[in-house]
């Protein structure tokens, strides 16, 4: 009997073409998921004019997503570990699809907040499940490249949402049309997940699949052994993302009201960030692997980010200048920051490290989305009073300054006696 089991277990690996089909299918779920998340920004002003929402209400639509994400992150991937990647992907995809549909059917703020909360419940663990699934299919092969392709396809969802006033202009005669488009695309989240489940089911009967291991979990006892370098990276992470994502929440509305752009042009400018990240993040990653100086690069990115909001608020330069600077920062810092954790934290505690970073990031983004909305309301930011956006932009600039401060502190730590090699390790460094 043991011999038969051995024979059964020794099966060929899936063909390369099969693996790449799986990658594309599962990435389509991420694409649709990103689209649904970003579908609010292009209609922020319409929600105000049609439904009487305030900027604080609009910020809360994003904050409720992040609050849900924090709650789910505390569960630490237990569902994925217990039920497997295929079933977990389908479950969380179904939640995302339902959330997209609910968001489109009701104009009641409470219902829409509940839908965004539900989206956060499904979306964040869906991303974890898809990441885990990719590790199963590509571990020991083209894993980094597969992750890059996955993220590129996912970010196209953000670009699609930003450009929706251009390609789906027919829907923009009120608040509901764009959300119906998002709900239709949201069905793709579940459809792609079901297709992935079928592909994995077929493969599990014919081929030998890899084991991805357990998902990242938060182990509280690990928090007390992390170094100062790690906490500087965490603080840089939360300040950086709290300046970027809440800005994107209101950017289209800001470009329309402060720069008098059309909705189409405003969406296209907002898409510069994800497009830049798709192209430049892998290139920056390759550069840093070659030359090291990771903390220095993070400081450079933070320095670029710091002045852009004031430049935009007061029209100090043509808009393409600060948007380009922001695009570089948005490509550079993540390319360096997330991999740097692997140098600072020992491997057995990486799950906790990444969980902590993501959790604190989501808390910061949730708070800042609400704060910027409240600030815009307090100072009457609108097309009639575009300078009312300036106080919120100053808040973003302060976050950029704090990100620069934490990057400098990280560099100071990493050039001292307790360095972990962030500045010195390169691909040409001796191994072992």
- The predicted model gives 193-222 an average pLDDT of 75
Label each residue of 39-80 as H, E or C.
CCHHHHHHHHHHHCCCHHHHHHHHHHHHHHHHHHHHHCCHHH
**Does the pLDDT value for residue 8 go beyond 50?**
no
282 shares its domain with 243 = yes
Domain membership of residue 3 (yes or no) is no
- Nearest CA to 352 out of 225, 249, 258, 256 is that of 225
C-beta separation of 246 from 369 below 8 A: yes
User: Of the candidates 160, 191, 215, which is a domain's last residue?
Assistant: 215
182 shares its domain with 330 = no
198 shares its domain with 230 = no
- Nearest CA to 338 out of 124, 148, 134, 85 is that of 148
**Does the pLDDT value for residue 339 go beyond 90?**
no
211 shares its domain with 273 = no
Number of other residues whose CB lies within 10 A of the CB of residue 56: 18
Q: How confident is the model at residue 211 (pLDDT cuts 50, 70, 90)?
A: low
pLDDT tens digits along 249-297: 999 999 999 999 999 999 999 999 999 988 888 888 888 888 889 999 9
Instruction: Report how many domains make up the chain.
Output: 2
Domain membership of residue 128 (yes or no) is yes
275 shares its domain with 205 = no
150 shares its domain with 277 = no
C-beta separation of 253 from 304 below 8 A: no
**Does the pLDDT value for residue 190 go beyond 70?**
yes
Indicate the range of 150-159, 178-187, 229-238, 332-341 predicted with least confidence.
332-341
* Residue 427: predicted pLDDT: 67
200 shares its domain with 225 = no
188 shares its domain with 238 = no
Indicate the range of 125-129, 237-241, 350-354 predicted with least confidence.
350-354
36 shares its domain with 95 = yes
* Residue 236: predicted pLDDT: 96
Q: How confident is the model at residue 6 (pLDDT cuts 50, 70, 90)?
A: very low
Is the pTM for the entire model greater than 0.95? no
Which structural domain, as residue segments, surrounds residue 119? Answer: 14-215
**Does the pLDDT value for residue 121 go beyond 80?**
yes
Q: Looking up tokens 């990658």, which residue turns up?
A: 23
* Residue 130: predicted pLDDT: 87
Q: Which residues of 93-112 are buried (b: 16+ CB within 10 A; e: fewer)?
A: bbbbbbbbbbbbeeeebeeb
Domain membership of residue 145 (yes or no) is yes
237 shares its domain with 254 = yes
Give the CATH number of the domain where residue 193 resides: 1.20.1250.20
175 against 151, higher pLDDT: 175
Q: Which residues of 328-342 are buried (b: 16+ CB within 10 A; e: fewer)?
A: bbbbbbbbbbeebbe
* Residue 60: predicted pLDDT: 97
Across all residues in the chain, what is the average pLDDT? 89
Q: Please state, in angstroms and as integers, the Cα–Cα distance from residue 337 to each residue in 19, 36, 37, 68, 75, following that order.
A: 29, 27, 24, 24, 24
Domain membership of residue 431 (yes or no) is no
**Does the pLDDT value for residue 408 go beyond 50?**
yes
C-beta separation of 270 from 255 below 8 A: yes
The DSSP H or E segment spanning 225 is: none
CA pair distance 280, 276, nearest whole angstrom: 6
* Residue 210: predicted pLDDT: 60
CA pair distance 382, 392, nearest whole angstrom: 13
* Residue 349: predicted pLDDT: 78
Tokens of 194: 């079901």
User: Of the candidates 165, 195, 215, which is a domain's last residue?
Assistant: 215
44 shares its domain with 149 = yes
Rg (CA), the chain: 22
222 shares its domain with 207 = no
* Residue 141: predicted pLDDT: 67
User: Of the candidates 196, 215, 234, which is a domain's last residue?
Assistant: 215
Task: For residue 289, count CB atoms less than 10 angstroms from its CB and return exposed for 0-12, middle for 13-18, buried for 19 or more.
Answer: middle
Angle at 420 between CA 277 and CA 291, to 5 degrees: 50
């Amino acid at each position: 009997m043991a011999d038969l089991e051995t024979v059964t277990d020794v099966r060929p690996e899936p063909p390369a073409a099969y693996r790449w089909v799986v990658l594309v299918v599962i990435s389509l779920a991420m694409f649709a998921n990103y689209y649904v998340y970003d579908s609010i920004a292009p209609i922020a002003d319409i929600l105000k004019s049609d439904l009487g929402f305030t900027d604080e209400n609009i910020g809360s639509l994003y904050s409720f997503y992040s609050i849900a994400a924090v709650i789910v992150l505390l569960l630490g991937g237990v569902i994925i570990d217990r039920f497997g990647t295929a079933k977990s992907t389908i479950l969380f995809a179904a939640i995302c699809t339902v959330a997209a549909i609910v968001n489109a059917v009701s104009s009641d703020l409470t219902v829409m907040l509940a839908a965004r909360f539900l989206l956060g419940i499904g979306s964040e663990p869906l991303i974890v499940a898809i990441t885990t699934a990719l590790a199963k299919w590509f571990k020991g092969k083209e894993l980094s490249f597969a992750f890059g392709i996955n993220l590129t396809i996912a970010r196209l969802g953000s670009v699609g949402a930003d450009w929706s006033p251009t390609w789906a202009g027919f829907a923009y005669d009120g608040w509901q049309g764009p959300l119906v488009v998002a709900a239709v695309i949201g069905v793709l989240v579940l459809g792609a997940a079901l297709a992935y489940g079928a592909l994995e089911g077929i493969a599990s009967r014919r081929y030998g699949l890899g084991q991805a291991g357990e998902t990242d979990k938060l182990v509280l006892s690990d928090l007390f052994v992390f170094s100062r370098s790690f906490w500087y990276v965490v603080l840089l992470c939360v300040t950086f993302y709290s300046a970027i994502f809440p800005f994107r929440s209101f950017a289209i509305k800001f470009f329309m009201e402060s720069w008098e752009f059309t909705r189409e042009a405003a969406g296209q400018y907002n898409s510069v960030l994800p497009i830049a990240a798709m192209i430049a993040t892998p290139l920056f990653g390759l550069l840093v692997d070659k030359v090291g100086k990771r903390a220095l690069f993070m400081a450079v990115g933070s320095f670029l980010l710091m002045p852009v909001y004031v430049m935009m608020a007061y029209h100090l330069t043509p808009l393409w200048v600060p948007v380009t600077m922001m695009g570089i920062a948005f490509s550079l810092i993540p390319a360096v920051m997330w991999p740097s954790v692997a140098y600072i934290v020992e491997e057995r505690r990486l799950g906790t490290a990444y969980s902590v970073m993501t959790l604190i990031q989501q808390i910061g983004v949730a708070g800042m989305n609400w704060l910027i909305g409240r600030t815009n309301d307090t100072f009457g930011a609108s097309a009639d009073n575009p300078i009312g956006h300036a106080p919120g932009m100053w808040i973003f600039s302060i976050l950029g300054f704090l990100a620069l401060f934490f990057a400098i502190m990280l560099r100071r730590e990493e050039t001292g006696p307790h360095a972990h090699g962030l500045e010195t390790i390169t691909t040409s460094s001796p191994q072992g």
